[in-house]
């Protein structure tokens, strides 16, 4: 049963991470909110446990709720582990739809991925350059057609 639950949440995380990786600002906002909310819950729960000054009767419950909600958001976005490991490749792996997270990969896989990303960047730059040239040629053809139409 644990494997089924784990598999479900792993697939859910991959889907959420894939979708959010296309919106980096939204991804960062949700992740930032969840991180702050998690630590707020930890902070307030610790204060309630040890200081017990200035908190009402529901202090520990709201703190625990903050920790649980933030943990769920962090788990769904794949940021829970990266929060503690400072993994900045989570968006890239989500955008590519990779199943393995960076901490699951071997050193050789990471090197291969980086070389592939560099090659993809080179290809994108070449394509961009070609698109600019095609646009320029199309503009020149249009100007030539206009000149021929005037004659």
List, for residues 26-42, the tens digit of each pLDDT value: 888 998 899 999 988 88
- Where along the chain do its domains lie? 1-99, 106-151
Helices (H), the chain: 2-20, 24-50, 59-77, 79-85, 90-96, 107-150
Number of residues written out for the chain: 151
Task: Tell me which DSSP letter residue 26 carries.
Answer: H
Cα(67)–Cα(41) distance, integer angstroms: 5
Question: Quick check: 70 and 38 in contact, CB under 8 A?
Answer: yes
Q: For tokens 């095609």, name the residue.
A: 134
Output the pTM of the full model: 0.51
Q: Which residues contact 31 (CB under 8 A, 6 or more apart)?
A: 74, 77, 79
**Residue range 57-79, pLDDT digits in tens:** 566 788 888 999 998 888 888 87
pLDDT of residue 54: 59
């Amino acid at each position: 049963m644990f494997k089924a639950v784990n598999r479900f949440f792993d697939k859910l995380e991959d889907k959420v991470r894939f979708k959010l990786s296309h919106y980096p600002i939204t991804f960062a906002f949700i992740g930032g909110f969840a991180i702050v909310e998690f630590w707020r819950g930890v902070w307030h729960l610790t204060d309630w446990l040890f200081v017990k000054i200035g908190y009402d009767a529901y202090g520990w419950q709201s703190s625990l709720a903050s920790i649980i909600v933030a943990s769920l958001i962090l788990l769904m976005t794949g940021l829970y582990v990266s929060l503690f490991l400072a993994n900045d490749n989570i968006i890239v792996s989500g955008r590519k739809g990779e199943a393995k997270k960076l901490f699951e990969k071997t050193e050789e896989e990471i090197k291969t991925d980086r070389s592939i990303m560099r090659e993809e960047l080179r290809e994108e730059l070449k394509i961009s350059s070609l698109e600019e040239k095609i646009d320029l040629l199309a503009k020149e053809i249009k100007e030539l057609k206009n000149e021929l139409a005037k004659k």
